[in-house]
């Protein structure tokens, strides 16, 4: 439990902290908690890597859907299409979450970012970069804390 507290406090990206109140700082804390929830160090490292790789693949999907292009989904104009896309990705997330965490993250990332766009639209560029940076930093902090704690084989 103490290692989770250390990771969650150390995970928020310092570069975004300088900008003041950062509404999505919890992304780093959530990514830091992922490796710490594993049964042992090896599976924690794998889960952290799956979190990073799955998130970055999901970010490519989000970029495809939200960045300016002929197939861009606008949160203001294409609400129905956006909701149907969210439902599709949520279904695949639920399908894979238990056994294929990395695959589930590929579809979970679009769910989170598309719902965020529906609730409070921001620049897709900012959203994608923040999610990538926060996840990378958070997962790395979680892995480092897990390795340094030396608590292999202990479930929490």
Residue 14 has pLDDT above 50, yes or no: no
**pLDDT tens figures, 22-69:** 566 788 999 999 999 888 899 999 999 999 999 999 999 999 999 887
Q: Work out the widest C-alpha separation in the chain, in whole angstroms.
A: 51
pLDDT tens, residue by residue, 78-127:
888 889 999 999 999 999 988 898 999 999 999 999 998 888 888 999 99
3-state secondary structure the chain: CHHHHHHHHHCCCHHHHCCCCCCCCHHHHHHHHHHHCCCCHHHHHHHHHHHHHHHHHHHHHHHHHHCCCCCCCCCCCCHHHHHHHHHHHHHHHHHHCCCCHHHHHHHHHHHHHHHHHHHCCCCHHHHHHHHHHHHHHHHHHHHHHHHHHCCCCCCC
pLDDT band (50, 70, 90) for residue 152: low
**Domain coordinates in residue numbering, the chain:** 2-149
């Amino acid at each position: 439990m103490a290692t989770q507290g250390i990771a969650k406090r150390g995970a928020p990206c310092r570069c975004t902290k300088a900008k003041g109140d950062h509404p999505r700082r919890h992304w780093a804390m959530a990514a830091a908690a992922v490796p710490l929830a594993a049964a042992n160090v090896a599976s924690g490292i794998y889960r952290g890597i799956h979190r990073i790789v799955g998130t970055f693949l999901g970010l490519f999907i989000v970029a495809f859907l939200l960045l300016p292009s002929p197939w861009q989904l606008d949160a203001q104009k294409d609400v129905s299409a956006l909701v149907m896309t969210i439902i599709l990705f949520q279904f695949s997330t639920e399908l894979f979450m238990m056994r294929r965490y990395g695959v589930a993250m590929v579809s979970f990332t679009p769910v989170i970012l598309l719902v965020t766009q529906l609730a409070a639209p921001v620049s897709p560029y900012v959203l994608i970069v923040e999610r990538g940076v926060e996840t990378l930093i958070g997962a790395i902090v979680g892995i480092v804390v897990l390795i340094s704690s030396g608590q292999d084989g202990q479930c929490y």
